[in-house]
Amino acid sequence: MSTVLERFRPLFEPRGIVVAGVSTHAGKFGFVAAHNILSLGYRGELFLVHREGAEVLGRKTLRSVEEVPYGAADLVFVCTPPETVPELLRACARRGIRAAFVASGGYGETGAEGKRAEQELAALAKELGLLLAGPNGQGIVSTPVSLCAQIVAPYPPRGHIAVASQSGGFVQAFSNYARSTGVGLSRAISAGNCAALSLEDYLEYFAEDPETRAVFVYLEGLRDGRAFFERARSVTRRKPFVVLRGGVTEGGQRAAASHTGALASDERIFEGLCRQAGISRVRTVAEGFYTCAAFATLPLPEGPRVFVLTTAGGWGVLAADRVSSSSVLRLLPLPSDLRAAFDSRLPPRWSRNNPADLAGSETRDTVPECLELVAAHPEVDAVLFLGLGIQSNLGELERESPFYPGYGLERVVAYHERQDRRYARTAVELSRRYGKPVLVSTELAETRPGNPGVEEMRSLRTVAFPSVERALTALEHMVRYSRYLSRRGLARPGTENPAAQERAQSTPNRSRAR
């Protein structure tokens, strides 16, 4: 295990946890933290500390951290008032505890006095050799070890996106997106005021973490901009790094100062440094999640050439408009061999263009066959498939009708549902087989999340984008990052597809040539 992974193991993979300040009141932070750790399957030892020794959640508690067996716990989750924290940390250090997450507020976000207390806390942690996260944070999630040490919900599925956020609300937002899409998180931390551990410290860990494929950071201010961007460059050499920055306006800066005590920095300089460091900068939380989801579940494109395959004409037109107006993407003119292959499989009314609009002419195998023709074509760098879920959406209407079951409807409904599940599996399989991103977009991902096609994407832990805009915006970030790597002669990050890795290693500068 590397030095960095070993340093952060007590925080993200602790052998045991102490919850200090646990409460019998179900509405208190100390109760919620203990409840979440217990109910979501953490497999290490848990020690609950209650100053009166009251029973909590059917478990006996300890009256003091001094009663924790030496070396049995690595992490303390602190829910006690700020004035009690220094002595608590000293006691923890005496019991061999090596990391602390301080959920308590009342520090730098409250003004000068709180800032002094925060600095003293950081100095004490350094003196004690403790890894200090927070204060004023909402918790830690580490899905590889079923750890949900947080005072908020939900708990996300296991996946490969790591999150460090100066707002606990955005950890919640990413967790909600993860549950709705099936694209999960590896680690997440509500970093709070970053008194000791900074965002760049978490970046260093995420860069080495084998469970993490894409990194997301929300920040409101930087203590050391140079250190942050130097660390960012070391991340982007190995895996994609997505940043959302708050406090970019005067009003936002005032809000950030009262939220985490963050100081403003120059917006133009920040933007330029992001480009130089290969950081994917996003403007909204949703853009951040879907960009990370694309990075975590799809191979990187080798270039900007996009092919759109659709069974819904209007969506295809909007996709063509969006690609054509992009400064990054390019709508590939329909190759003659691809046109001939489509002609042999489709009736004459198909669009004969890119987007290839099948115009309702598809038969049982048309969509899978045409998708494979496109994904396999050497001039196509990325595929956008539109129309998933349409058949089973009709099937749902038929299932709810007064004529169901009967008149052969049950057979047709089952067929529609099988087909949409098949289309989802085909898109995912082709993406892996050919080492190219095959993006699937359907508004049903948001409007009818129980649609069989959407459910199949979720079960495969691959993102189904709820709109053309979100899919193509994510693809733009992927193409920019792919170019960043190619221009520096860097190999693309590992994917699940060996073919993609081999192609990436054999053609490192292809994007630059275009």
pLDDT for 114-170, tens place per residue?
999 999 999 999 999 999 999 999 999 999 999 999 999 999 999 999 999 998 899
Q: Quote the CA–CA distance of 169 and 158 in Å, as a whole number.
A: 19
Give how far Cα 192 sits from Cα of 19, 58, 94, 261, Å. Answer: 18, 31, 25, 10
Q: What is the pLDDT of residues 194-206, one digit of tens each?
A: 999 999 999 999 9
Whether the link from the prior residue into 405 is cis, omega within 30° of 0, is: yes
Q: Please tell me the predicted confidence (pLDDT) of residue 253.
A: 63
Q: Quote the CA–CA distance of 142 and 162 in Å, as a whole number.
A: 9
| φ and ψ of 28, to 5 deg | -90, 150
- Report whether pLDDT(17) > 90: yes
What average pLDDT does this structure show over 168-189? 97
Residue bearing tokens 């460059």: 233
Count CB-CB contacts under 10 A for residue 275: 11
Percent of the chain whose predicted confidence (pLDDT) is above 90: 84
What average pLDDT does this structure show over 307-312? 95
Phi-psi region of 490 (alpha: psi -120 to 50; beta: other; left: phi over 0): beta
Q: Please tell me the predicted confidence (pLDDT) of residue 456.
A: 97
- Report whether pLDDT(497) > 90: no
Beta carbons of 231 and 245 less than 8 angstroms apart:
no
What average pLDDT does this structure show over 348-364? 86
What lies within 8 Å, CB to CB, of 192 at 6+ separation is: 102, 103, 133, 134, 135, 136, 137, 138, 166, 168, 260
Q: Please tell me the predicted confidence (pLDDT) of residue 90.
A: 98
Q: What is the pLDDT of residues 434-471, one digit of tens each?
A: 999 999 999 999 999 999 999 999 999 999 999 999 99
Q: Quote the CA–CA distance of 361 and 382 in Å, as a whole number.
A: 23
What average pLDDT does this structure show over 413-424? 96
Q: Please tell me the predicted confidence (pLDDT) of residue 498.
A: 42
What is the distance, to the nearest Å, from the Cα of residue 293 to the centroid of all Cα atoms in its chain?
Answer: 5
What average pLDDT does this structure show over 305-324? 96
- Report whether pLDDT(348) > 60: yes
Q: Please tell me the predicted confidence (pLDDT) of residue 501.
A: 46
Cα radius of gyration (the chain): 25
Q: Please tell me the predicted confidence (pLDDT) of residue 144.
A: 97
Residue bearing tokens 């500390």: 49
Pairing of strands 185-190, 139-142: antiparallel
DSSP 8-state class, residue 214: E
Our CA dihedral for 243, 246, 248, 250, rounded to 10 degrees, sits at -170
| The token pair that represents 224 in the structure block | 């050391």
Cα distance from N-terminal residue to C-terminal residue, the chain? 40
What average pLDDT does this structure show over 353-371? 88
Which has more pLDDT, 511 or 345?
345
Q: Please tell me the predicted confidence (pLDDT) of residue 360.
A: 73
DSSP 8-state class, residue 58: T
- pLDDT tier at 338 (50, 70, 90 boundaries)? very high
Q: Considering the entire predicted model, what is its pTM? A: 0.91
Give how far Cα 499 sits from Cα of 135, 297, 381, Å. Answer: 45, 15, 14
What average pLDDT does this structure show over 265-269? 79
Q: Please tell me the predicted confidence (pLDDT) of residue 1.
A: 79
Q: Quote the CA–CA distance of 463 and 480 in Å, as a whole number.
A: 20
Give how far Cα 55 sits from Cα of 31, 44, 67, 470, Å. Answer: 11, 20, 16, 49
What lies within 8 Å, CB to CB, of 160 at 6+ separation is: 184, 186, 211, 212, 213, 214, 296, 297
What average pLDDT does this structure show over 20-41? 96
Give the burial class of 340: count Cβ atoms within 10 A of its Cβ; 0-12 exposed, 13-18 middle, 19 or more buried: exposed
Buried b (16+ CB within 10 A) or exposed e, 317-336: ebbbebbeebebbbbbebbe
Q: Please tell me the predicted confidence (pLDDT) of residue 512.
A: 36
What average pLDDT does this structure show over 264-290? 91
Helices (H), 309-382: 313-324, 336-343, 366-376
Pairing of strands 438-441, 382-386: parallel
Q: Quote the CA–CA distance of 48 and 77 in Å, as a whole number.
A: 10
- Report whether pLDDT(510) > 60: no
Q: Quote the CA–CA distance of 102 and 360 in Å, as a whole number.
A: 58
Beta carbons of 332 and 305 less than 8 angstroms apart:
yes
**What is 445-513 written as a DSSP string?**
HHH-TT-HHHHHHHHTT--EESSHHHHHHHHHHHHHHHHHHHHTTPPPPP-S-HHHHHHHHH-TTHHHH
Q: Please tell me the predicted confidence (pLDDT) of residue 364.
A: 82
Q: Quote the CA–CA distance of 505 and 498 in Å, as a whole number.
A: 11
- pLDDT tier at 267 (50, 70, 90 boundaries)? confident
Q: Please tell me the predicted confidence (pLDDT) of residue 204.
A: 95
| φ and ψ of 233, to 5 deg | -60, -35
Per 3-state DSSP, the chain is made up of helix, strand and coil in percentages (nearest 5) of: 45, 15, 35
Q: Please tell me the predicted confidence (pLDDT) of residue 507.
A: 43
**What is 431-446 written as a DSSP string?**
HHHHTS-EEEE-THHH
Q: How many residues does the chain have?
A: 514
Order across the sheet with 99-102: list the strands: 45-49, 16-20, 75-78, 99-102, 131-133
| The token pair that represents 114 in the structure block | 């709180």
Instruction: For the chain, give the mean pLDDT.
Output: 92
